[in-house]
Amino acid sequence: MSSRFLGKSCRSLGRSAKLQTNKSRLLASIASVEVPLGIPNAARFPYEDRYAEVIKTKKEDKSYRYFRNVNRLAHEFPLAHSTDEGRKINVWCTNDYLGMGGNPEVLKTMHDVLDRYGACSGGSRNISGHNRFAQLPGCVFLSDASNHSSIIEGIRHSGADKLVWRHNDLADLERKLAAVPPGVPKVVCFESIYSMCGTVAPIRDICDLAERYGAITFLDE
């Protein structure tokens, strides 16, 4: 280690120690001062004035965020009703790329489940028990290599086995599906449009492969 580096390190440590000493003295002086309970209003920090000043500045420089009132129309995707403008508008910034939020089969299935089980779990799993729909004992996840981090972390925290197949590579997916025993539950995880690279998944082909090998699909859409 060079003497120059040692010198810099020592000076840095010295400054740090000095700051700690000054901080300790300040805290000690505050603790030793006897003050009456309660602080006069005139002596208080003007929090509300400060907040108002910041908001005013953001409005003036056009960085203050306003939320538009937009209500999606389930049966008219990608149209939505803008209450601000009083008319229908096209929504180009949705994550519902395929319009599954208004798909008749999806809506019907949701209604059937709601009619049967209701709209609330009734409590956490620790108290109310585990939902049977979330149980796939011994399942294996087959995850596209370009899946985003929340999918990757979700699979990791599930504790289930995982196989990663090359991005949008159907041949590699088939090889990995074939390697899993037929009786083992399998979940093929992929995205419709990959947010990190913009590529589009061959959804129909992936679903066909999954069905051929007895797997189900999890599509992040």
Query: What pLDDT is attached to residue 169?
Result: 97
Per-residue pLDDT of the chain (221 residues), as tens digits, is 444 444 444 455 455 556 666 767 766 766 665 656 666 666 778 889 999 999 999 999 999 998 888 888 888 888 888 887 788 988 888 888 788 888 899 999 999 989 988 887 777 767 777 666 666 788 999 999 999 999 999 999 988 999 999 999 999 999 999 999 999 999 999 999 898 788 999 999 999 999 999 999 999 87
Query: What pLDDT is attached to residue 5?
Result: 43
Whether the bond into 40 is cis, omega within 30 of 0: no
Residue type, 156: R
Contact 139, 160 (CB under 8 A): yes
For residues 89 and 80, give the distance between their C-alpha atoms in angstroms, rounded to a whole number.
Answer: 5
- Spans of all domains in the chain: 47-113, 137-221
Say which CATH topology domain 137-221 has. Aspartate Aminotransferase; domain 2 (3.40.640)
Query: What pLDDT is attached to residue 23?
Result: 67
Query: What pLDDT is attached to residue 14?
Result: 54
Residue 193, C-beta contacts closer than 8 angstroms, at least 6 positions apart: 97, 199, 200, 201
Query: What pLDDT is attached to residue 12?
Result: 52
User: Domain 47-113 class?
Assistant: alpha beta
